[in-house]
Structure 1
């Protein structure tokens, strides 16, 4: 081991020990600081004076929050002497508040009156869970999201939640970004917006670059880890991200957000709202623009979006229409940096240049570029261009006592393409014959191509929530969605003619020939129907729940049949996803839970297209066991949970990658993820808080077979070498992820926050080979904010976010592939990495009127 490597390894060990020590201190310290007072809050219906079960109680200004039990009581113990504002809320009722002075044990009764309006929260109630549910989850409100919403993509605003790893192609969180939760990639994370599916129906990924600055129109987000609760859209195989957009605002407002930062990053946002008009109508709007040159060379992004919403509030009904859109133009940076450039010496780099046949501008680029910002693309229009428009019509009705009906119609229109320059492209790869000019036969040409996607996604979602008594609650919901997508590619420019013609071309002077040619076209259709029923029954402090979902997916696509003819194919899959659980609420405002769930998930588009009916991958199957304990006090909140996600036929990344970044996958019979997660917040005094998350896990494949291509002298695949691995690590699944946020308010209007994130080693493939891995990294950010107000301006907010404060050099994503050349026993491995930016900043100004 080299001295520098030894120092880096020792530093990482010390960092891990510090993180674990800080977590232990955060958990243990509050015990020494709690006082001896207790508070019991009873919540009742003002009209009939019956207790309200499941009402939410919070002590404003502290961490204490909880839900009322079967008697309508919520108890808080070990509360310090002081003045507290108690707030009680319950769906369908007006919130109530009372300020009290606590110097001894206290009992308070709060009476809630029925709302005049249906609350926006009912729109997403069918897909949400609450504090006493047997589900592992995390809630984020709009105030929390706004603190760091300075232009980075939505995944970066979720980075401090348990088990999350984020990454960015361009290195600074603007443009193409991604998120993994418990090691599960975006295709296994179900995303809904107001209960409506957002994942792409074919790839099942969620591309937040198509909704830039969407967080500025979000009211709250709930992340459910594991299978979670039944919801609409793609199956959740690692987590669900349930987003609710803006809700009712009673007063008119106008808001301006402006950000400037490193890499010439700019964000401009305008938000306006009418407030409640004639006690019935509200209208809200947002317009956003984000531009950045990116950390990576030429990794620029030009993002635009808008959000419009109008709502009508009746006595028993709510009707809301949302229209929002995003348009992105992003220079491609998805190739990453080869290991030889990032970590190698001059000889390593020369070997890479020779092996890949680089010359001219490409050779000059890789030799002279900064190793951490190198981008292999040089063509000026190597851009991804896409626009996505969303239309939602949401309706809720509470005309019948104890029954809430929800329905939503939605339509999404997407279209766009990415353009790329392909040097030395073979005519045969585009279904063309070699071109004969005189005595010359041309087999290759330089060309520019556009690969297009034009799609439509529409459907209906619905739910009925019936609560006949405080003990029983039942929800019936479901959806029918249909997707139609056209995929096609055009050659828009070619150095040589695409076809043999009678004319004689002079290649030295004549480049005027027509090269417009559509070299492929295929369409796809996918329908997704699901229905689910959920029931919860309470006996005393115990609550039992059952959740049954049936889902039917039908997919029609252009693919290979058994005779290797490329013809339209059809596949239909039926899934049954049951879930059961038990939770118990203790008198000290804590609860414990255990649940068992089954999830099933279909393969993605590439899995279908790149196979025949005989070789087509099976669907994935998972059993998810979750158990945990949550406790809340005035100065201390904690949640600890353990999980086991047991897979059958999980589709595993091999590390091989095609020219658009898609990785080939195979079913493995037996694999699992097991872990323990903690989410702790400590607030010993009113102006200081410390939030810590930690996720330890084992992510294993019991038997994994690696296939390495053996190439002959003509670069044809002559054979494959097979390597067997037992109990190997699942790719890109770190064994430990931890975060910390220490926040201090020196004065009421200012905050200083020190934010840390540690991610352990991640393997690029499933061989557990450290030579194919991402080093562990520990990154620290600093956030400063100051708010003031004066006549005519409700708020002037200044925010400074310094990312990677100590200039840590790290990579949070990458890929690898290996090959063997016939007659050479050596295995050649190519690793590619996505370096993230060093120290950089975002400075924001917020004005509210």
Structure 2
């Protein structure tokens, strides 16, 4: 190492004899470009810090000659500290970062993420970008500036239940993994980040793959994948306190500590978090608590890590939205939840859930080229939502009518708890070989979900036994998955990629709440091939790929007799993209065409068991172009922007609407449509940021978002839509170092600066009442101008 450092010093001294601009390229020991390395040069108290791009390139233009201190760091690599001399012209230099004497690379993540040369559309978000936004909002809200993403919040301010769509696809079609382990709910296939409060405080990186992407573990990726990594290694002792406060009495308190490397092999890290908010919507309060513990053993060829991640949430229900007839009166905070109780709203109309994650990772080097990862996990979830229900029929709960002195009583008010109690467990594995020109991965997983659904009536005005259980159902889902991936460099600039996955899925559902005797067993076998080609040269990355995805229906889709059981969904995804990065700019474009066969959509139809389930539609598609770019105007000003223009259509679609005469249901009216817009799929999505550093240690960002109009169903009815909206946020971050503590970060963010009145989500349940159509629209309204203030201290 001393010889290497000495050689580096000599080379740099010579290279910078005539240099005023440092053009640095960082490589690994295998002579591959190293992305994500952090380089800092400093002189006379001034510092310039940049991160290497996908080509391993960093360009510094400090503007003044002289001696500078260079600090070059990357996770799992040996740190370089060296004095360099900068004088007059531009110089190019390649620096090799040697591996540390520990196996630190998160193999469980590398197996399923798309590498820089893989021909797939992706966005990488590093720890620094996450920290800038982390003031207490849930994870989807922090992804709002990434391409083709739309976010929403039940409470209206990003705390509590939140959701996102990517390219118009909802959360049940977005594959989410946590350290390579499936996170989507096995039955609904949705993602509920509220169950893991403040997870972003432990996230070291996030990758979003738009489209089908590479093979992964868990739910089928039918529009995007999101991979979250937390298994970061820190060899130094640290302690950190993050606290923020803002509108709607919103609080976030986080404490993080780490032991650094103990006895050259062991590390311990911990985080404890609390978030509370009253919410923008009436009574949409959140009380969230979280704990994160991780311990690791590392050596040159072996690493073992155990994670315990637990979250507990209590939120007042706010998922119904504001009814249209209330919104037109100007009341944007109205919450219908709990309003069935006479007088004041029911005070415990809440959702209560605890989720515990146990994760064990073993990574092993097998010689110089091969690595093995095995991860075992258990996710334990249990909780309920409680609600006050008025005028409920005894017969709906399996009880006879109640006889009283005044006659037979058929209905009563009651309070009920609906429970989920489940275990989700399994293993993932990957065997990988990574050479200079070849990356090979064989991996897969097995998972089992054992779940119980049950409901208890805990209070009634009359006629119910104490703690009466009116349904108890069980479900089991097994998922087996294996894949093989090969990324092969052909020549100097060209790479080809091949990937094939096999999935076996089996459902066993012992009844549904409204149809307890309906037993369903379904089995699916999927083969999902993917292939592509990419070209990389001098900062240019161009690629084309094709991917096939098959996806099983959700639990609710199976509530039907055999002749109306849903089919698998199939997606053919074509991606053509390019990206060019220079020393001061980046620009890119992706063209995509996503052809769906038998996509499941809501039509309003009632099936043979009285359930409103989704129905397979033969042909639909999404096509569009995603544009993104950025430019460093000077050392204190840079801009970033992205925009998506798309066309999303269902070619043939039949809608069904319930008809009533008085209170009596008389049937359904069918209406056919052709070439209509897919619901919740705007034609335009755009985001942009202007970032300024007017003085040392101060960063100001202006963040913009535009979302075009969205239809609430597939009929393209102008009376059932979300209007387009534009929002503007502003953020300021001021950093103070070595004042009592190591570092202070003061963050102030104002959301929706122009106080726009908009809704980011909604629903429509139309009906025909005595010949008149009612649209049954509700809107998930978002907060007007609001703020968050944060103080982060690194001890």
In 2, Cα distance between equivalents of 1:791 and 1:93: 30
Distance in 1 between residues matched to 2:573 and 2:539, nearest whole Å: 26
Residue 772 of structure 2 corresponds to which residue in structure 1? 826
Q: 1:92 to 1:151 in 2, by over 3 A?
A: closer
Partner of 2:277: 292
- Please report how far the alpha carbon of residue 86 of structure 1 lies from its aligned counterpart in structure 2 after TM superposition: 8.4
| Separation in structure 1 between the aligned mates of residue 58 and residue 133 of structure 2, nearest angstrom | 31
What corresponds to 1:471 in structure 2? 437
2:259 to 274, 277, 284: 274
Deviation larger for 107-116 or 643-652: 107-116
The normalised TM-score by structure 2 is 0.90
Indicate the residue corresponding to 2:6 in structure 1.
Answer: none
Match of 1:433 in 2: 400
Q: Which residue pairs with 2:187 in the alignment? A: 202
What is the rounded CA distance, in whole Å, between the counterparts of 1:226 and 1:603 in structure 2? Answer: 19
**Cα deviation code 1:29-64 (max 9, x no counterpart):** xxxxxx99895748474xxxxx61343376765878
Residues 82, 615 of structure 1: alpha-carbon distance in 2 compared, 3 angstrom cutoff: farther
1:473-516 CA distances to partner (integer Å, 9 max, x unpaired)? 21000000000000000011110113xxxxxxxxxxxxxxx432
- C-alpha spacing 1:226/1:485, structure 2 compared with 1 (3 Å): same
Does residue 1:795 correspond to 2:743, yes or no? yes
Asked if structure 2 preserves the Cα contact closer than 8 Å seen for 1:65 and 1:632, the reply is: no
Q: Does 1:398 align with 2:394?
A: no
Aligned match of 2:693:
745
Candidates 592, 596, 600, aligned match of 2:546: 596
- TM-align CA RMSD: 2.6
Name the CA shift for 1:273/1:666 in 2 (closer, same or farther; >3 Å): same
CA 1:159–1:310 in 2, change beyond 3 Å: closer, same or farther?
same
Q: Does the aligned pair in 2 maintain the 1:190–1:233 contact within 8 Å?
A: yes
Compared CA separation, residues 848 and 90, structure 1 to 2 (3 A): closer
TM-score if structure 1 supplies the norm length?
Answer: 0.85
User: Are 2:34 and 1:52 equivalent residues in the alignment?
Assistant: no
The reply to whether residue 840 of structure 1 matches residue 786 of structure 2 is yes
Paired position in structure 2 for 1:12: none
Residues 79 and 625 (structure 1), Cα distance of their counterparts in 2 relative to 1, 3 Å cut:
farther
Give the alignment partner of residue 243 of structure 1, picking from 184, 207, 228. 228
Instruction: Select the residue among 232, 241, 262 that pairs with 1:256.
Output: 241
User: Structure 2 regions of 5+ residues with no counterpart?
Assistant: 1-18, 41-47, 339-344
Contact 2:604–2:656 (CA under 8 A) maintained in structure 1:
no
The structure-2 alpha-carbon separation of the partners of 1:148 and 1:90, relative to structure 1 and needing over 3 Å to count, comes to closer
Question: Given the alignment, which residue of 720, 727, 741 partners 2:668?
Answer: 720
In 1, distance between residues paired with 2:561 and 2:477?
18
1:607-636 per-residue CA deviation (whole Å, 9 max, x = no partner) reads: 11x212211111110000011111111211
CA distance in 1, matches of 2:63, 2:336: 59
CA 696–96 in structure 1, closer or farther in 2 if over 3 Å, else same: farther
1:529 counterpart residue number: 480
Give the direction of change, closer, same or farther, for the CA distance of 1:248–1:545 in structure 2 (3 Å limit). same
The 2-side partners of 1:42 and 1:836 are apart by 44
Task: Compute the displacement of 1:112 (Å).
Answer: 3.5
Correspondence 1:709 to 2:658: yes
Which residue is 2:153 aligned to? Answer: 168
Residue 715 of structure 1 deviates from its aligned partner by 2.5
More strand by share: 2
Give the 5 Å matches for 1:374-523: 374-377=335-338, 378-438=345-405, 440-467=407-434, 469-498=435-464, 514-523=465-474
In structure 1, distance between residues paired with 2:613 and 2:763: 12
Q: Give the deviation of 1:326 after TM superposition.
A: 0.5
The answer to whether the 8 Å contact 1:57/1:86 transfers is no
Match of 1:756 in 2: 704
Deviation at 1:106, TM superposition (A): 3.0
Q: Which residue of 1 aligns with 2:557?
A: 607
Which is worse superposed, 634-643 or 267-276?
634-643
Structure 1 656/693 Cα, relative in aligned 2: closer, same or farther at 3 Å? farther
Deviation at 1:88, TM superposition (A): 7.7
Q: Give the conservation status (yes or no) of the 8 Å contact 1:56–1:88.
A: no
CA distance, structure 1, for counterparts of residue 766 and residue 88 of structure 2: 69
1:676 aligned residue = 625
Distance in 2 (alpha carbons) for counterparts of 1:785 and 1:441: 67
1:110 aligns with 2:56: no
Report the Cα offset of residue 131 of structure 1.
Answer: 2.0
Partner of 2:300: 315
Q: 1:687 aligns with which of 624, 632, 636?
A: 636
The aligned counterpart of 1:815 is 763
1:666 equivalent in structure 2: 615
Secondary structure (helix, strand or coil) at the match of 2:377 reads strand
Q: Secondary structure at the match of 2:204?
A: strand
| Equivalent position to 1:542, from 494, 502, 505 | 494
Aligned equivalent of 2:505: 553
- For residues 344-398 of structure 1, the C-alpha deviation after alignment (integer angstroms, 9 at most, x for no partner) is 5xxxxxxxxxxxxxxxxxxxxxxxx934444442211100000000000011111
Report the secondary structure of 1:209's partner residue. Answer: helix
Contact 1:407 1:463 in 2 (8 A): yes
Structure 1 CA distance, aligned partners of 2:774 and 2:140? 34
Which runs of structure 2 are paired with 1:43-122 in the superposition (5 Å)?
43=27, 45=29, 52-56=31-35, 65-67=52-54, 93-94=77-78, 101=86, 103-122=88-107
Aligned counterparts of 1:619 and 1:44: Cα–Cα separation in 2: 44
Flag the 1:257–1:40 CA change in 2: closer, same or farther, 3 A: closer
| Cα pair 1:655 1:764 within 8 Å, conserved | no
* Equivalent position SS for 1:56: coil
Aligned residue runs from structure 1 range 168-187, under 5 A: 168-187=153-172
| Match status 1:634 vs 2:613 | no
Q: Which moved more, 1:85-94 or 1:617-626?
A: 85-94
The secondary structure found in structure 2 opposite 1:145 is: helix
Give SS of 1:770's match. Answer: coil
State the alpha-carbon separation in 1 of the partners of residues 604 and 358 from structure 2.
37
Contact 2:119 2:544 in 1 (8 A): yes
Higher relative contact order (CA closer than 8 Å, sequence separation 6+): 1
Structure 1 residues not aligned, in runs of 5+: 1-34, 46-50, 69-73, 345-368, 499-513
Quickly say closer, same or farther: Cα 1:40–1:449, change in 2 above 3 A.
closer
